[in-house]
Amino acid sequence: MIFLSNNNGKLKISDHALQTMLGYRQIGKKDLEAGGILVGRWILDSNDVVVDDVSTPMPNDIRKRCFFKRNQKEHQQFLLQKWIESNGTQNYLGEWHTHPEPSPTPSPHDRKEWKRIIKEITGVDRLFFIIVGTEKIKVWEVSSLNGKIITLTLMERS
């Protein structure tokens, strides 16, 4: 999937990352929210970003029907492993989680968390947040400059 970013760049979600996230859609009435971090690359000399992989729910995450909180230490270990395997080219790009609704909308809690996260991360001007609904995937970009949350536009689905 490719989304148009706020700065005319593109956010590409690899097939591997996409299929991993889709595997956690909350199709059943008792399915719990799932989530993790986005790992990928900022493409040099462009505004493009590629999500190569995502972490998946870890044993110490908190998962409920309408709530997900990741265990920072376990997901950080996943990120460190990807960074080492890629010789330092893959980095933290943001977060993803599921919602039990067809076309997902971020909750006030989601928006508050995104703004908190962008304030804590140094060295990046933006991060991405993906919500996987039962039928659609949506992506938001959050600026570190002003905390503004922008919905990205789907360009094409691979």
Active site residues: 33
Helix (H, G, I), strand (E, B) or coil at 119: helix
Q: Output the six-digit token pair for 120.
A: 């804590």
Q: Output the six-digit token pair for 108.
A: 């006030």
DSSP 77: H
Contact yes or no for 35/43 (Cβ under 8 A): no
Q: Output the six-digit token pair for 35.
A: 């989530």
Q: How many other CB atoms are there within 10 angstroms of residue 142's CB atom? A: 22
Task: Using only the alpha carbons of the chain, give its radius of gyration.
Answer: 15
Q: Where are the beta strands (DSSP E) in the chain?
A: 2-4, 10-13, 35-42, 49-54, 62-64, 67-69, 91-98, 126-132, 137-143, 149-151, 153-156
